[in-house]
Structure 1
Amino acid sequence: MTNAAWVFPGQGSQAIGMGTDLATVALAQGRFAEAEATLGWSVLDVVQDTDDKVSNTLYTQPCLYVIESILVDLLKEQGHQPAVVAGHSLGEYVALYAAEVFDFATGLTLVQRRAELMAQASDGMMAALLGFDADELAAKIEATPGVVLANDNNPGQVVISGTPEAVTTVMEGMKAKRAVKLNVSGAFHSPLMADAAATFQAVLEPISFATAQVPVLSNVDPTPATDGSVLKQRLVQQMTGSVRWREITLALPELGIDTVVEVGPGNVLTGLTKRTCKELALVNVGNLEQVASAG
């Protein structure tokens, strides 16, 4: 995995039972205990709750951050290192942790506050569109005030975000193979998150961001960066800005990357990569068995 990009999934990749096998490893036990002291609740208890508590934004984001960070630590313990990192929305925090921009505890504190602010954002709506004409969608968004392109995932899959009226107008006015309303509390990655973003900027302000040990491709700017102040500013913009995942994926071969390693539960990002850059080799590391088989 010498020329590997490590990528980290965000909300939507969570699953009941994720990460429970990690609890047999001493390193992970320490992380779970540290997380419980910070959060005031147990990640392992939440992910095993049969009522799908893990899909509540308040819990989803910290759980994903903790589990993906543990997987990073285990891969590094085996001697693996990424050549570049990127994370989808919440996953960008794990990417910054993997690049040693901040420590585990700092990242978890930020993620917990982010999750609280996003869970409180009750205005707005998001919807996923699959199989559509990109020019037609761009024109429709342009002509409809109150809606933006929130996630540009790959050429055939995007997420739009905005007021319920505007999102519904675009959904109903587009020819798409599939249009699905997302089960989220607010219009994430849109201007409707401006108040939450302003509050979060004040939380970020005093936090020191170190120089990244490997280049980071950010959601709002897919060009590689290592400067801590640049990476912090991009994170400030992330809550209201679009997730430019398609551009991140397209940038990887140009950076000499030949393998994409999705570190976290599920295979959402490797699935998106497969449709955007067929030449990239794909690896999934979401559990202990996959950590061991990573070489």
Structure 2
Amino acid sequence: MTKTAWVFPGQGSQAIGMGMDLLELSYAKDKFAQAEEILGWSVPEICQSEEEKISRTLYTQPSMYVVESILADLMRERGQHPALVAGHSMGEYVALYVAGVFDWSEGLRLVKRRAELMDSAAGGMMAALIGFNREQLEQQIEQTPDVVLANDNSPAQVVISGTPTAVEAVLSQVKAKRVIPLNVSGAFHSPLMAAAASEFQPVLESVTFKPAKVPVLSNVEPIPAVDAAVLKERLSRQMTGSVRWQEISQRLPEEGIERVVEIGPGTVLTGLIKRTCSGLILENISSVADLEGLGVRGEEEDTVTR
């Protein structure tokens, strides 16, 4: 049997209309209704709204959690199960839910509070670099206060995060094929999120974590773990820590993974994995049609995830 990992995208992969075909299914309808009770707003309404609204952190993260978790549940209903899971930033919460670490409603409440705190963050900047000299970039980051490597997505794509002055200073000294300022409210995955992370900690501590049923590769420490305390401690560092996605990608074949299924809108993560390690079967599940056609290989998409 092919050893399979499931991976879940985070903010940056959202798309207008995502998850709308799920409304045809009674299970999904029930989940959307449960989500509205917890969130106080409708995920389907947000998913059909204008780009400005669906891309606002406050709404994006909970909507992504709901859509991705429903798709994962429907895959399990069809007899599909992962040997390992991982998620990019917010996607790690879906991975933990799928691994049985906490129940669905607890996960959504965590994501809701996380999104509120991150949405209210201010005074920071994030920018993606594509096609750059890594040694030059790392040197400039080391020499510049208040900026960090927030997302190490692949050998050719990273995101830096910090104060606007610091980020601009690094960008002025590093040549890149493409630079994309990200439309976010704060310097996510950097020490500048310390206040938000501190406020989030009591919420995280209030949720009981259970041992994972399958190993989880965490953003801040991409080593497979199932221990509940370890997974919670790693998650507590995620808001201020770097997303080490390139290392997660490299770890997959080391763990004997032969097939990777990205569950959620877009094909960002499979694209990043393809650039990092070859030889893996890559698939994408973002719709009901994809569920019916499991086994179809996805095409990569050059989009920034954060």
TM-score, reference length from structure 2: 0.95
Aligned to 2:111: 111
Alpha-carbon offset, residue 26 of structure 1: 1.1
Matches within 5 A, 1:201-280: 201-280=201-280
Corresponding position of 2:156: 156
- Cα distance in structure 1, aligned partners of 2:55 and 2:233: 28
Query: Where does structure 1 lack aligned partners over 5 or more consecutive residues?
Result: none
Cα distance in 2 between the residues matched to 1:56 and 1:93: 18
Q: Runs ≥4 in structure 1, deviation > 4 angstroms?
A: none
Specify the code of the residue in structure 2 equivalent to 1:212.
A
Structure 1 residue 51: Cα displacement = 5.0
Pairing 1:24-63 to 2, within 5 Å after superposition: 24-50=24-50, 52-63=52-63
- Give the match for residue 303 of structure 2: none
Distance 2:58 2:237 in 1: 21
Report the Cα offset of residue 278 of structure 1: 1.5
Q: Which amino acid aligns with 1:60?
A: T
Find the counterpart in structure 1 of residue 74 from structure 2. 74
Q: Which one is further off, 133-142 or 42-51?
A: 42-51
Q: Which amino acid aligns with 2:118?
A: M
Tell me the distance in 2 between the aligned counterparts of 1:286 and 1:253. 24
Q: How many residues align?
A: 295
Residue aligning to 2:11 = 11
* Cα shift at 1:40: 0.7
Query: Does the Cα contact within 8 Å between 1:16 and 1:52 map onto a contact in 2?
Result: no
Deviations 1:162-183 (A, max 9, x none): 0000000011110111112111
State whether structure 2 residue 207 is matched by structure 1 residue 180: no
- How far apart, in 1, do the equivalents of 2:291 and 2:227 lie? 29
Tell me what 1:147 maps to: 147
Give 3-state SS (helix, strand or coil) of 2:237's partner. Answer: helix
Cα deviation 1:94-123 (Å, max 9, x = unaligned): 000110101110000000000000001012
Partner of residue 298, structure 2: none
Question: Which letter does structure 1 place at the counterpart of 2:282?
Answer: L
Could you tell me the TM-score, scaled by structure 1's length?
A: 0.99
Partner amino acid, structure 1, of 2:147: V
| Matched residue SS, 1:203 | helix
2:196 maps to 1:196: yes
TM-aligned CA distance change 1:198 to 1:159, over 3 Å? same
Residue identity opposite 1:83 in structure 2? A
State whether residues 2 and 83 of structure 1, in contact with CA within 8 Å, keep that contact through their aligned partners in structure 2: no
Matched letter for residue 290 of structure 1: D
Query: What secondary structure sits across from 1:289 in the alignment?
Result: helix
Partner in structure 2 of residue 171 of structure 1:
171
Instruction: Report what 1:97 is aligned to.
Output: 97
Amino acid across the alignment from 1:157: Q
Alpha-carbon distance between aligned partners in 2 of 1:239 and 1:255, rounded to the nearest angstrom: 26
Task: State the shift of 1:50 in Å.
Answer: 3.2
1:238 partner SS: coil
Q: Does the 8 Å contact 1:212/1:226 carry over to 2?
A: yes
The alignment-based identity, stated in percent, is 63
d(CA) in 1 for partners of 2:49 and 2:125? 27
- 2:19, 2:2 → 1: CA distance? 26
How far apart, CA to CA, are the structure 2 residues paired with 1:22 and 1:248? 29
* d(CA) in 2 for partners of 1:23, 1:142: 48
1:36-58 CA deviation, whole Å, 9 max, x = no partner?
A: 01111110011111354211110
Alignment partners' CA distance in 1, 2:116 and 2:51: 20
Q: CA RMSD in A?
A: 0.9
Q: 2: distance between equivalents of 1:145 and 1:52? A: 31
